[in-house]
Amino acid sequence: MMRASPARIALYVISALVLIYLILPVLIIAPISFSSARFLTFPPPSFSLRWYQQYFSNPAWMQATQVTLTVALLTVVIATPFGVAAAYAISQSKLRIMRLIHMALLLPLVVPIIITAVGIFFVYARIGLVATMPGLVLANVMLGLPYVVISVLAGLQSFDPAQEMVARSLGMNRLRSFFAVTLPQIKSSVVAGGIFAFISAMDETIVALFISGGQYQPLTKRMFTALRDEIDPTIAAISTLMTAASFMLVLLASARQKRSG
């Protein structure tokens, strides 16, 4: 009924402009990565895969890619079980201290990342973890934990703990009943949490800037350094691949969450 009012039309126009502002930068990268031009022109003069070739044939980029994938995978492998165990304990326990622990596990989302980064750098410098693989993985596990905890806690909310009680009353021990009864029902939120931890580790830049170095530099650190010097379209190719990877993972995670919904 108020569809035609000027206010309504203004609302549509403003919202459309804001949405364009939001997605334009995400969409602009891919065409540039497929352009043959050395300098950025839009629309691109002709189609070319040279920036992808440059990326795949450069040993430094390849090494960085390997570091990123290794760190992200190890982060998921460690942060997921840690986060699931913690979320389970938080949801089941009636201890008052659990509230405090729950808040502590969300700290990585609250403390400005630059502060975390510098703090970790100082600690690592003391114990010799700067520019090492374990140092990088540990930091990303910490940063990924909140995503797993939040996702699994949400999954546990719709789970009836009485079911586990039944399993235990039928003679299963707590561990077996968790794996046989609880875990299958919260599987989707566990997978989603793990995927978010993976994306978080893949995109993490600031902590890596401070604590990574030598042969253990992830993609984001090399990209950041490259961006400070010059705008190289190779970065557009890498960005396109990273964005595609993120989107596929998010689609996977949300498809899973919906199924559990």
Nearest to 191 by CA among 92, 242, 259: 259
Which 165-194 positions form the footprint of another protein (CB under 8 A)? none
Q: Does 33 bind another protein (CB under 8 A)?
A: no
**Residue closer to another protein, measured from CB, 5 or 163:** 5
One residue of 69, 203, 256, 260 binding another protein per CB under 8 A = 203
One residue of 202, 216, 234, 257 binding another protein per CB under 8 A = 202
Distance separating alpha carbons of residues 140 and 68, to the nearest angstrom: 11
How far, CA to CA in Å, does 165 sit from each of 173, 176, 186, 187, 260?
10, 12, 16, 19, 21
Nearest to 108 by CA among 69, 72, 156, 148: 148
**Residue closer to another protein, measured from CB, 54 or 246:** 246
Is the separation of the CB atoms in 83 and 152 below 8 Å? yes
**CB of residue 244 to another protein, shortest distance in Å:** 10
Q: Is 47 helix (H, G, I), strand (E, B) or coil?
A: strand
Letters for 224-243 (x = contact with another protein by CB under 8 A, - = none) are x--xx--x---xx--x--xx
Kindly indicate which of the ranges 52-60, 142-150, 159-167, 183-191 contains the residues binding another protein, using the contact rule CB under 8 A.
142-150
How is residue 159 annotated by DSSP?
Answer: S
Which 76-135 positions form the footprint of another protein (CB under 8 A)? 81-83, 85-86, 88-90, 92-93, 95, 97-98, 101, 104-116, 118-123
Which 35-64 positions form the footprint of another protein (CB under 8 A)? 39-42
**Residue closer to another protein, measured from CB, 62 or 114:** 114
Other Cβ atoms closer than 10 A to 143: 23
One residue of 64, 67, 74, 149 binding another protein per CB under 8 A = 149
Measured in whole angstroms, how far is the alpha carbon of residue 83 from the centre of its chain?
14
H/E stretch holding 233 reads: none
Is the separation of the CB atoms in 234 and 51 below 8 Å? yes
**CB of residue 35 to another protein, shortest distance in Å:** 11
**CB of residue 253 to another protein, shortest distance in Å:** 10
Q: Is 35 helix (H, G, I), strand (E, B) or coil?
A: strand
**CB of residue 214 to another protein, shortest distance in Å:** 16
Cis? peptide before 43, omega within 30° of 0: yes
